[in-house]
Amino acid sequence: MAIIAAGTPVPEITLKREDGSDLTQDDLRGRTTVLVFYPFAFSPVCTDQLQVYEELLPELAEQNAVMYGVSTDASWSQTAFKEKLGITIEQLSDFEPKGAASKALGAYFEPAGMTNRALIVVGPDGTVAWSHLAASPGDLPGVDKVREGLAAVAA
């Protein structure tokens, strides 16, 4: 599955926010959005990634950008995960229908039935500005990759 390419408008998607409300493609307009797709809450590798990204939040705020973590876990699991990590990055659940939004964005890993390790940066106009699919789900993109994506919006 190829990840959604830069220049493509975000298709119709629906993800569940932590408060149970829906987040759709229309909610991505007006500011830059960084979607961080990770395979599973509580997997040891994902743990480190989101704690490292938490350090980037002040920099994102300066650029009118917001970051979300996305996985196919249910919101309850994501919230527990977030609390365990001590992070504030809001989590979006792609639980039901499972992985539908991730599939629409090319960020789903079919062989294992899980969200792939991917980053998608959406510009304030609702168009994908940059995307990155890790070579394998265990391959963690660093903060430098997120910065690369933000630079694509600024360009």
Partner 1 sequence: MDPAGTRPGAIRPDDHACGPLDGPPVVLYGDATCPRCQDATRFLRAAPVRLVWRHLVLRARGPRPRALAGALEAAARQDAFWPFLDRLLADPGRQDDPDLWALARELGLDVERFERDRRDEAATARIDADLADGLSAGASGTPAIVVAGGVDHGIPDEAWIQALLAERAT
Binding site for partner 1 (CB under 8 A): 45, 47-52, 54-56, 85-87, 140-145
**Nearer to partner 1 (CB atom), residue 27 or residue 90:** 90
Contact status, residue 143 vs residue 55, Cβ threshold 8 Å: yes
Asked if 46 is an active-site residue, the reply is: yes
Using CA atoms, how far apart are residues 32 and 52, in angstroms rounded to an integer?
Answer: 20
Contact status, residue 129 vs residue 122, Cβ threshold 8 Å: yes
**Nearer to partner 1 (CB atom), residue 38 or residue 95:** 38
**Nearer to partner 1 (CB atom), residue 20 or residue 86:** 86
Using CA atoms, how far apart are residues 72 and 114, in angstroms rounded to an integer?
Answer: 6
- In the complex, what is the shortest distance from the CB of residue 9 to partner 1, in angstroms, rounded to a whole number? 29
Single out the catalytic residue among 46, 67, 87, 89: 46
- In the complex, what is the shortest distance from the CB of residue 55 to partner 1, in angstroms, rounded to a whole number? 6
- In the complex, what is the shortest distance from the CB of residue 144 to partner 1, in angstroms, rounded to a whole number? 5
SS (H, E, C) 85-122: HCCCCEEEECCCCCCHHHHHCCCEEHHHCEECCEEEEE
Residue 66's SS3 state is strand
Catalytic residues: 46
